[in-house]
């Protein structure tokens, strides 16, 4: 089983993963008449969003989405879907949208993380907050960023205490080297 791939957000030119968020107010496919199917094992909900903060406002910038077979892909804020594969009567490929620039009226918190510290043992499914070397907590009201709290130093202090290893889904202790051997990736 794969760890879910998080949505991303660009803030002040830097790419962050959205670690946690409140309910509602962000992109929902149903708002556009799209019923999703699994995109891949890292995305059971069927879509991945890329957001950006520009001029203090939150926007949906890009989207990768898998509609159920026979489903359609509408324009989203005037942006058309793009496909790597051809649509047929029996196959609906995933679509990518770019340049959406859809303002999001989100009210709530977004916890953002960047630069995972892979020197710790961890589960492929669970990544504690302290593993992120950069962490920001954003508070938004109707899509406008009201406050930003940099929690990076707080997470660094936790890492210096050498937290206990995090265990895999079957109870085994995993570290970055073991994960590289499992999936061939480089950290």
Domain boundary among the residues 103, 122, 138 is at: 103
Question: What is the DSSP pairing of strand 47-54 with strand 8-11?
Answer: parallel
Q: What is the pLDDT of residue 171?
A: 45
Assess whether 97 and 145 both reside in one domain: no
Assess whether 122 and 171 both reside in one domain: yes
Assess whether 32 and 97 both reside in one domain: yes
**Which residues touch 152 (CB under 8 Å, ≥6 apart)?**
132, 133, 134, 135, 136
Assess whether 130 and 176 both reside in one domain: yes
Residue 6 included in any domain: no
Domain boundary among the residues 50, 69, 103 is at: 103
Rounded distance between C-alpha atoms, residue 160 and residue 63, angstroms: 37
Number of domains in the chain: 2
- φ, ψ of residue 160 in degrees (nearest 5): -70, -20
Residue by residue, pLDDT tens for the chain (187 residues) are 556 788 999 999 999 999 988 887 799 999 999 989 888 777 888 899 999 999 999 999 999 999 887 678 999 999 999 988 776 666 678 899 999 999 999 999 999 999 887 776 555 556 778 888 899 999 999 999 999 999 999 988 888 886 665 555 444 444 444 433 333 333 2
Residue 155 included in any domain: yes
Give the SS3 label for residue 127. Answer: coil
Domain boundary among the residues 77, 103, 129 is at: 103
Rounded distance between C-alpha atoms, residue 121 and residue 178, angstroms: 9
Assess whether 37 and 67 both reside in one domain: yes
Residue 11 included in any domain: no
Assess whether 36 and 95 both reside in one domain: yes
Of residues 187, 10, 2, the one with CA closest to residue 110 = 10
Q: What is the pLDDT of residue 48?
A: 93
Residue 3 included in any domain: no
Range of the domain at 49: 26-103
Assess whether 94 and 36 both reside in one domain: yes
């Amino acid at each position: 089983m794969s760890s879910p791939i998080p949505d991303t957000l660009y803030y002040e030119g830097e790419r962050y993963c959205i670690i946690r968020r409140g309910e509602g107010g962000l992109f929902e496919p149903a708002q556009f008449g799209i019923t999703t199917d699994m995109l891949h094992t890292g995305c059971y909900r069927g879509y991945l969003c890329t957001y950006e903060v520009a001029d203090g406002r939150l926007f949906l910038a890009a989207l990768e989405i898998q509609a159920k077979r026979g489903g359609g892909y509408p324009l989203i804020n005037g942006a058309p879907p793009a496909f790597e594969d051809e649509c047929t009567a029996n196959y609906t490929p995933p679509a990518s949208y770019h340049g959406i620039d859809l303002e999001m009226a989100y009210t709530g918190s977004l916890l953002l993380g960047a630069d995972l510290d892979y020197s710790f043992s961890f589960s492929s499914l669970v990544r504690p907050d302290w593993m992120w070397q950069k962490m920001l907590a954003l508070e938004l009201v109707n899509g406008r960023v009201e406050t930003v709290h940099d929690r990076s130093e707080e997470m660094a202090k936790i890492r210096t205490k050498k937290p206990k290893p995090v265990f895999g889904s079957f109870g085994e202790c995993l570290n970055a080297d073991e994960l590289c051997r499992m999936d061939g990736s480089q950290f």
